[in-house]
Amino acid sequence: MNELCEKAYQFQNDHIVLKQILDEICSRDFLIRQEEILKLILQTLLNSNRGLPSEVENYFDNLDGIWSFDTYLALLAEPFLTQRIHLRIAKELAQYQGYRPKIINTAYHVFVH
């Protein structure tokens, strides 16, 4: 999951790579919840006039903690998220004291500052 999310984040402006990632996810018979959320975010990035599905906001609204893949998902979805969800993610990120992995540090600066 981390690898897919990290690749999507690295190439978020490259629609060809995003489409390849989306095709890979869609080719799977069964998707875990995070893969389904990544799929919805990628579909939104590739077709930005579509709007972010409510399942994505619900996902972030119900986080019990934030993992690296959640952070990548949040950064990818950030332009489409409501202010309430921004604050929810900021609250989760603010709980990290001291050492933060690089991607969480990046998200902290996007959502908290």
d(CA 90, CA 82): 12
41-60 average pLDDT score? 90
Mean pLDDT of the chain: 90
Question: Which stretches of the chain are DSSP H helices?
Answer: 2-10, 15-26, 33-46, 54-61, 68-77, 83-94, 102-111
d(CA 52, CA 2): 21
Q: How many Cβ atoms from other residues are within 10 Å of residue 105's Cβ?
A: 14
Tokens 């409501």 belong to residue: 82
Residue 52 has pLDDT above 80, yes or no: yes
Residue 98 has pLDDT above 80, yes or no: no
pTM of the predicted model as reported, rounded to 2 decimal places? 0.87
- The answer to whether the CB of 21 falls within 8 A of the CB of 12 is no
Residue 77 has pLDDT above 90, yes or no: yes
Q: To the nearest whole percent, how much of the chain has pLDDT over 70?
A: 97
Among 5-14, 67-76, 82-91, 99-108, which stretch is predicted with the lowest mean pLDDT?
A: 99-108
15-21 average pLDDT score? 95
